[in-house]
Amino acid sequence: MGPAHRNRFPCTCHTNYKKSKKQVEAFINGYNEHVNDEFDGLVPAQMHTLLYDTFGERSILKLKKLSETQYGTVPILNQVKYLANSILNKKEVTLTKTGALPTKIVFDVYENGGLKEEHIEQGYVKLRKEADSISVQLSNILLQLTGIVKKRSNKLSITKKGISLINDNDRLLPLLIKTFCTKFNWAYFDRYKDEKWGQVGFGFSLVLLSRYGGIRRKDTFYAEKYYTAFPRLLDLHPYNRYVESSAFGAYGLRTFKKILTVFGLVDYERTDLLGPHHVVKTELFDALIELKI
């Protein structure tokens, strides 16, 4: 994760996921009900379900329950729970004048929550406030988007729903995943212009990782398959000569670094400073996500 400052990222943390899906739905419906190479062997009906009900009963993707030991290896789950319990123990937390978490809580959550950030660890950014840490901001945002925490009169407190959830990993982790994927705006912490890249059709990326993620591959391998399935996401920018480069960069950053890494589902790294990123799924990925075809 890179440094974050709210005033440098003007887009809202909320996403209009339903509207974004509509923009690619017509393309999917244009195919017949036979297997399509563009969809990596899936049929349009399966792709439609991945778009609108990614983990639903008719979907080919299922979220499985983990053991308590496995839940303990999910970084964002542990950090969200740590922040939630910090708020619960204090009964309520008064935010700063800018609406941010107090510095003391930011330090505590970052040090003990479970998610570390390279720019802070290597000293490029000194942790002084919530805006310096993407992971702390993200934990705060997810708590509010899920309804675990409410904000009133510039104070945060745990809701009744939240109290029942924070000690129930079987319910909490799926809620965090679904909230992250459909309510949180993946473009919130980057400067790529198109908010849809990577987030629309994210279920298809999970299918690809389930199939091909056992071998370490370049992130462009997945980006190529993703934009082959959803070419309309590139067609929306006909006058941008660098659209493919930007779209591929956004896809890798958002899909792998911003979501799957923080959930502990992939290893995502460069072998050298100027080289491409490589991605491989973790054991946790197959423990949590099942592909049924």
Bridge partner list, 270: 277
132/208 Cα distance (integer angstroms): 33
Nearest 5°: CA angle at 125, between 123 and 128?
Answer: 115
d(CA 197, CA 213): 20
pTM of the model: 0.88
- Would you say 288 and 64 are in contact if contact means Cβ atoms under 8 Å apart? yes
The 10s digit of each residue's pLDDT in 201-218 is 999 999 999 999 999 999
145-204 pLDDT, tens digit each: 999 999 999 999 999 999 999 999 999 999 999 999 999 999 999 988 889 999 999 999
Region of poorest pLDDT, from 120-124, 201-205, 219-223, 267-271? 267-271
Beta-carbon-side half-sphere exposure of residue 162 (alpha carbons within 13 Å): 24
- Domains assigned to the chain: 16-64+190-291 (no CATH), 68-182 (1.10.10)
Question: Of residues 5 and 103, which shows the higher confidence score?
Answer: 103
Helix axes 75-90, 134-145, angle to 10 degrees: 70
